Structure 1
Amino acid sequence: MTIHIGAAPGQIAETVLMPGDPYRARWAAETFLDGAELVNEVRGMLGFTGTYRGNRVSIQGSGMGMPSLSIYANELIRDYGVKTLIRVGSIGGMQPQVKVRDVIIAMTCTTVATPSSTIFRDLNYSPCADYGLLEAAVAATRKRDVGVHVGGIYSSDTFYDERPDLNEQMTRHGILGVEMEAAELYTLAARHGVRALGIMTVSDHLQTGEALPSDQREKTFGDMIEIALEAAFA
């Protein structure tokens, strides 16, 4: 048990999927895992453990933004011995070829700052995905009729962004989409020598203004969850 996670020792698997929304964690656990059991509900941040095709896996909500994810990822790695963490969540598209409902697999994460930024001082550290997980995720997408994009994304702690000039530069430099957690996850994984990957579904688009209605998101996000699970145990 930690300050933010109430699971007992042994209740969390070495592989953890991390959606931001705790209710999405519950939906994913009930939909895709066998024998899913609630192992954490501290502060309403739900976590579940079950099996996927005989492999033990946990799904733990991370909350919104890098500071919140940093808390849960640190405790999962340091106190529960987690070896593989995969962020699954929504992302805003930034390129014309990226469509709503497509899946983005993040190779790298650009960011202005993360909770880890202060330890690097003048260094612009470039966090990236675990290649083995990334390769396995790309292979898993070939079995599905879903648009897939692999490349760089932008992680921001500002949801209501008032910097259109920054978004213009991200688009200009090929950034596929913007979300709020992956850069810190990749940085922590590198620091602690574990595996991390971000697989996100495009829920809205910054250029076109199109957005996926909330009642359609769970069904659409199913591909992302299955890709993540298959990649974790490839």
Structure 2
Amino acid sequence: MSTHIGAAPGQIAPYVLMPGDPYRARWIAETFLEDPVQYNDVRGMLGYTGTYRGVPVSAQGSGMGQPSIGIYAHELFSEYDVRAIVRVGTCGALAESVKVRDVILGQAASTDSSMNRPRFGDVTFAPAADFDLLRFAWEAAQEKLLPAVVGGLFSSDQFYNPNTTIASTLADYGVLGVEMEAAALYTLAAQFSRRALAVCTVSDHLITGEETSAAERQESFEDMMVMALDAVVRLHDEEGQDRG
């Protein structure tokens, strides 16, 4: 048991899917995992462990923003020996080439957060995804003809950002979408020598103003989950071969 997660040793799988919404963690467990067991309800941040195609997988809510996901990711990596975390959530599109319902696989994550200053001082650290997880998610999307794009994310510390020009500036530099967690997750994965990937469904478009309906979001979430779960299974298989 850690400070914020009420699981005993061995109750959390080596691979964790992490939505922001704890109720979406429950939906993931009930929809995709076999024999899910709840291991956490501390502060209402639900967590479950089951199996997917025979691979042990957990679904753990993270809350919103980098401070919140930073707490849970830190404890999962440091106290439960989790090997990989895949963030599964939503984002807003910044590039006109990206459409609503697309799924962005976050290759790297820029941020306006100051969370890395205690670590690096004046150095600007560039948080990036694990290449193998990214590759496996992309391969799954290509094989199943799912709407995925690979590129940079912007992890904002503010949902209601008073800087009204930052979206277009980031788009000019090739950033595809904005969300609030990936940079912290990637940084912690680097700190603990673990793996991480953000897989984000585009729920709205900051440039065109287009939004998805509830039904469209649900269908897109399922596409996102297929990519994330397939990536985890492929990673598990590769790690098993490496250990052999």
Query: The TM-score by the shorter chain falls in which range?
Result: over 0.9
Equivalents in 2 of 1:132, 1:220: separation in Å? 23
Mapped contact 2:133–2:232 kept (Cα < 8 A) = yes
Q: Distance between the aligned counterparts of 1:191 and 1:154, measured in 2?
A: 20
Task: Tell me the distance in 2 between the aligned counterparts of 1:21 and 1:216.
Answer: 18
1:99 aligns to what?
99
Structure 1 unmatched runs, 5+: none
**Which residues in structure 2 correspond to 1:169-184 (within 5 Å)?**
169-184=169-184
Matches within 5 A, 1:47-58: 47-58=47-58
- Structure 2, unaligned stretches of length 5 or more? 235-244
Deviation at 1:215, TM superposition (A): 4.9
Paired residue for 1:141? Answer: 141
- Tell whether the 8 Å contact from 1:95 to 1:175 is kept in structure 2 after alignment: yes
Alignment of 1:86 with 2:70, yes or no, is: no
Kept in 2: contact 1:155–1:183 (CA 8 A): yes
1:4 aligned residue:
4
Task: Give 1:146 deviation, angstroms.
Answer: 2.8
The answer as to whether partners of 1:114 and 1:184 remain within 8 angstroms in 2 is no
Give the Cα separation in 2 of the matches to 1:106 and 1:114: 20
**Does structure 2 retain, via aligned residues, the 8 Å contact 1:20–1:63?**
yes
The separation in 2 between residues aligned to 1:128 and 1:106, in whole angstroms, is: 8
Q: Distance in 1 between matches of 2:207 and 2:130?
A: 29
Give the length in aligned residue pairs.
234
8 Å CA contact 1:114–1:183 kept in 2: the answer is no
The 1-side partners of 2:156 and 2:217 are apart by 21
Match in the other structure for 2:17: 17
Q: Distance in 2 between matches of 1:175 and 1:219?
A: 24
CA distance in 2, matches of 1:114, 1:187: 12
For residues 92 and 117 of structure 2, the distance between their equivalents in structure 1, rounded to whole angstroms, comes to 23
Aligned to 2:229: 229
Deviates more, 1:9-18 or 1:214-223: 214-223
Seq. identity, %? 52
The answer as to whether partners of 1:66 and 1:114 remain within 8 angstroms in 2 is no
* Distance (Å, rounded) in 2 between the aligned partners of 1:101 and 1:114: 31
| Amino acid in structure 2 at the alignment position of 1:46 | L
1:119 paired residue number: 119
Which residue of 1 is the match for residue 240 of structure 2? none
Distance 1:101 1:34, change over 3 A: same
The worse-fitting range, judged by mean Cα deviation, of 202-211 and 61-70 is 202-211
**CA distance in 1 between partners of 2:74 and 2:114 (Å):** 14
Superposition TM-score, scaled by structure 2 size: 0.93
Match of 1:166 in 2: 166
Query: What's the RMSD between the two structures over aligned residues?
Result: 1.1
Letter in 2 for 1:155: S
Say if 2:11 and 2:49, in contact at 8 Å, map to a contact too: yes
Query: Does the CA contact (< 8 Å) of 2:94 and 2:168 recur in 1?
Result: no
Give the equivalent residue in structure 2 for 1:213: 213
CA deviations on 1:35-62 (whole Å, 9 max, x unpaired) are: 0111111111110000000000100000
Q: Distance in 1 between matches of 2:119 and 2:137?
A: 31
